Structure 1
């Protein structure tokens, strides 16, 4: 009897192992296909300005669209999103200056990266939140590129990127935003300009940057790592629903909630140099979400 039980246990375990191997083989080739997909897109033609006002606006956009938050104020990159110890893979922000270890992009390359999430080889960039940027207006995009492309070169070698089995499985189930090109409407037609105003419409235009952490419906998400608190709900159903607009503005400018408690250290509030008008617009949008 015991031998029979052991026999069937071995068969079940062996079958399970074979199934998992077949499943992961499928996951591997599926994700490899997606990683190596060549996109056939029409690159937009933008006139990139060089005047001081456009550069100043581009600097501000780089701060509020999380460019400096990931690539650093000198744009040399190096921030780790997944390292040697991570079960997901190895992902560091890139050096996007023209220094050693950086990049050498034409205007078309910048547009391709920011509008389509694609590298020079027309394959998807990795873990670059282009899907949170690609719909900004032509005027804003041109100003952003004008600033970023003129940053002083910094010599810093990039880390080699890689994706581990868990990262592939999460990518397979669309639970990890490895390939931004998959989340972009490559036929979208951006508007030429947006009107700066304290309105829900302008707030929505700005708040797209928040979706990377707080999720697309702003209802929060799981913690980024072990020991960290969950990402909070910032819609009207979360704590923000009880805050005033002044409280929201103060929180994003000081890092302290209206009740005096500090924000989660993972919240990069210092990286977002929003104006009062922009913060009030974001509050108006978020506070109106059901």
Structure 2
């Protein structure tokens, strides 16, 4: 389970997903002393609830290779320290979790330790999952026990020395891991606490929307302040700044629409966030989506977005790019996004006054111009309008020019984009 437009609110709002049919307070708690519910009806209900939780937690995204057997693992996860491979979590006795008890499963979720007590790498987001209740953990366990077992061995990680030494995780955990289930804030509403539980627990939204330091740990002092997703070359915008993806001035309906369908009057999701909506968020109940939106909207806003590395151009060259960019925009973009940049929302997002266009990091608009993309196909938006790729049609300078034009026109206040940055991203992976 992980976490894994031209210019809408790309890769935005939660670079992660959320989960849970059982309230943080323990409602509908079918767990008692670690035992699965005794009656067939209770067990069926627990499995159904676990399916919802696993779907909402986007477990399938990491533990299923495209075209492969469900939950059989084997998905390669590139990291700055080497490649990790997700494990088989089907109920196969030899290669999966067939011999795991509900206690074993909860220990993995809550403490980041496997059945044999070995430390799990934080690619598995136990730093967030530790907040998940025992009742929800048992429900997921019951569901995974109900799927078809797959007799496929988990592939060992391929990590460089010294990162292949699990004993080093002791120090990492001391610095970056605080064990404990979510504790509701008595000064907040039930709905707010529900949203906090979903966002901070199975949702593990902070894994994308919080910067990672050289040790692979989160910069907790800048939680939800945005960051470049390692090796994916997508920028997860700040949720603490209205200059990026801060939601303080959004209507709850627009946030709900974005999470549930992938599009709203304020923007659309692309890149990794589109996969999250497609695989997970669209299946969540309206009540859970509204709770998440309530919590996300309440995250304290800061006046300034966090600083990110950005290649700069001279003022003179920036002016040249603006002139070229206007021509490229008129020929390639205005038909959908309009000459005045107002677009035709929600099908074609507005570019004028769009915070995601003006962020200090220009990674997302460059990626969208080069590679194109679609918002997710969801029940509320089954036939989304897409953005065509221009990597083959436009040079690095032309892409830099049109992105510069969009970032600095119609009242936008973005900085010019360097052709070198476009060149660096041209060969970036598409996933």
> Structure 2 length as normaliser, TM-score?
0.48
What CA deviation, in whole Å up to 9, does each residue of 1:112-136 have, x standing for no partner?
Answer: 2112110122121122112211222
Counterpart CA distance in 2 for 1:241 and 1:167 is: 40
2:117 aligns to what?
122
- Structure 2: runs of 5+ lacking an equivalent: 1-31, 184-188, 211-219, 301-431
Aligned counterpart in structure 2 of residue 204 of structure 1, from 172, 187, 196: 196
Tell me how far apart the structure 2 counterparts of residues 115 and 184 of structure 1 sit (CA, whole Å). Answer: 11
Q: How many Å apart are 1:157 and its aligned residue?
A: 3.0
The answer for the alignment partner of 1:15 in structure 2 is none
Q: In the TM superposition, what is the alpha-carbon distance from 1:184 to its structure 2 partner?
A: 4.4
Alignment partner, residue 110 of structure 1: 105
Q: How many residues align?
A: 233
1 CA distance for matches of 2:175 and 2:116?
16
Q: CA deviation at 1:90?
A: 1.8
* Residues in 2 aligned to 1:136 and 1:45: alpha-carbon distance in whole angstroms: 17
Q: Distance in 1 between matches of 2:80 and 2:177?
A: 27
Whether 1:265 and 2:271 are equivalent positions in the alignment is yes
2:226 aligned residue: 220
2-structure distance, mates of 1:166, 1:221: 25
User: Which residue in the other structure is 1:134 paired with?
Assistant: 130
Does the 8 Å contact 1:48/1:146 carry over to 2?
Answer: yes
1:96-153 CA-to-partner distances (Å, cap 9, x unmatched) read: 1133643331222212211211012212112211221122223222212211222210
Deviation at 1:257, TM superposition (A): 4.6
Between the aligned partners of 2:137 and 2:61, the Cα distance in structure 1 is: 18
Contact 2:226 2:237 in 1 (8 A): yes
Change in CA separation of 1:264 and 1:190 when aligned onto 2, cut-off 3 Å:
closer
3-state SS of paired residue (1:125): coil
Choose from 246, 249, 262 the match for 2:256.
Answer: 249
2: CA distance, partners of 1:274 / 1:236: 26
Structure-2 separation of matches of 1:156 and 1:185 = 33
Unaligned 5+ segments in structure 1 are 1-43, 192-196
Question: C-alpha distance in 2, partners of 1:78/1:159?
Answer: 6
What RMSD, in angstroms, separates the aligned Cα atoms of the two structures? 3.4
SS class of match (1:144):
helix
CA distances 1:55-91 after superposition (whole Å, capped 9, x unpaired): 1111111122232232238211222212xxx652120
Kept in 1, the 8 Å contact 2:133–2:181? The answer is no
Q: Report the counterpart of residue 32 of structure 1 in structure 2.
A: none
CA distance in 2, matches of 1:201, 1:236: 22
Whether the aligned pair in 1 keeps the contact of 2:106 and 2:134 (CA below 8 Å) is no
Change (3 A) 1:53 1:182: farther
Partner of 2:311: none
Which of residues 23, 35, 39 in structure 2 aligns to 1:47? 35
Describe the shift of the 1:287–1:278 C-alpha distance in structure 2 as closer, same or farther (beyond 3 A): same
CA distance in 1, matches of 2:278, 2:109: 23
* Residue 8 of structure 1: aligned partner: none
The answer on whether the counterparts of 1:63 and 1:69 sit within 8 Å (CA) in structure 2 is: no
Task: Select 1:229's aligned residue among 234, 237, 258.
Answer: 234
Give the structure with the higher percent helix: 1
